[in-house]
Structure 1
Amino acid sequence: MNETINSMLTRRSIRSYKTTQIAERDLNWILEAAIYAATSRNLQSWDFTVIQNNDMLKKLSKAAADTLRKMGDARSLEKANDPDFSPFYHAPTVIIVSGNDNRNARIDCANATQNMCVAANALGLGSCYLASFTQAFDDPAVAATLMKELGIPDGYKPQFAVSLGYANEKPATPERRRDVIHFVK
């Protein structure tokens, strides 16, 4: 089978990571794959923030948990009150993908995020495509501080993230629906 297609078909969302940091050369290939993602009109409406600082990841997790507590529903409260809560699943590396105000920026960010996940799998790394962490940016005062600390440029907003690391689990292959393909010839 073609290597690229194999990487797409075998990629799984990893939610448990070893503590070992990923190699810098692998990180650089993953980022290279991101900036080669297709973008609307080649506007490249994204910005990438690589976080390998555990204190910053804990700070983002706390901000997300604080927002979950404010939501008040039982499921959100359960997650927020879990002392082990991390929207990044305790991955040693997280890449936040932020988009500008271009109307297609979210799609551009999604393309880059998917490229990173497939590249990570091709390199033998685990990844998870994330969006729920953006709750950490719901409070404008908290968001302003976080954005500054993360170096996210003015006019950009976090859209997605990718958690990266060496997998500490091997998820089963989920069954795929086959009734979603329709041909018109």
Structure 2
Amino acid sequence: MNETISVMLSRRSIRSYKTRQVSDRDLNWILEAGIYAATSRNMQAWYLTAVQNPELLKRLRDAACETMLKSDNARNREKALDPDFSPFYKAPTLIIVSGNESRNARVDCANATQNMCVAANSLGLGSCYLASFTMAFEDPAVSATLLRDLGIPDGYFPQFGVALGYAAEHPDTPHRRRDVIRIIK
């Protein structure tokens, strides 16, 4: 089988990580893969922020939990009360994919996020495509400080993330629906 397709088909969402940090070399390749993603009209509407600082990761976790506690969703509130909960599964690296205000920024950010997850798998790293941690940015007072501390430029807002690290689990291949494909000749 083609190596690229093999990497795509073997990628899994990892939700348990070892504490070992991702190397600078691997992180740089993964970020490079992100900026080579398909983009609408070559707008490249993303901004990538790799966070490896444990204190900043804790602040992001705490801010997300504060928002979750105010949620109407009982499951969110229950998770937020769990002191062991992490919206990025305690990965040692979190890549935040922020988008600008252009029309297709969210799609461009999704493409970059997927590219980085596939690149991580090709390098022997685990990853998980994330969106729920963006709740940390829902409170304007908290958001302004976090955006500043993360160095995210004005006009950009976190859309997705990639939890990144060495997998502490090896999930089975999930069932894939086959009734969602049609070929017309």
What is the TM-score with the length of structure 2 in the denominator?
A: 0.99
RMSD of aligned Cα (Å): 0.7
The residue number in structure 2 matching 1:149 is 149
SS at match of 1:48: strand
Secondary structure of the corresponding residue to residue 87 of structure 2: coil
Aligned residue for 1:71, secondary structure, equals: coil
Give identity over the alignment, percent.
72
Residues of 2 paired with 1:68 and 1:95: CA distance?
A: 21
SS in 2 for 1:31: helix
Give the 4+ runs in structure 1 shifted more than 3 A.
none
Q: Which runs of 5+ in 2 are unaligned?
A: none
Deviation (angstroms), 1:60:
0.4
Give 5+ residue unaligned stretches, structure 1: none
Aligned to 2:139: 139
Distance 1:164 1:73 in 2: 27
**Superposed counterparts of 1:1-185, under 5 Å:** 1-185=1-185
Find the aligned partners of 1:43 and 1:174 in 2 and give their Cα distance: 34
Deviation at 1:73, TM superposition (A): 3.0
Distance in 1, matches of 2:45 and 2:105, equals 5
Q: The residue matched to 2:70 in structure 1 has which SS? A: helix
Q: Which residue type is aligned with residue 101 of structure 2?
A: D
Number of positions where the alignment pairs a residue of Structure 1 with one of Structure 2: 185
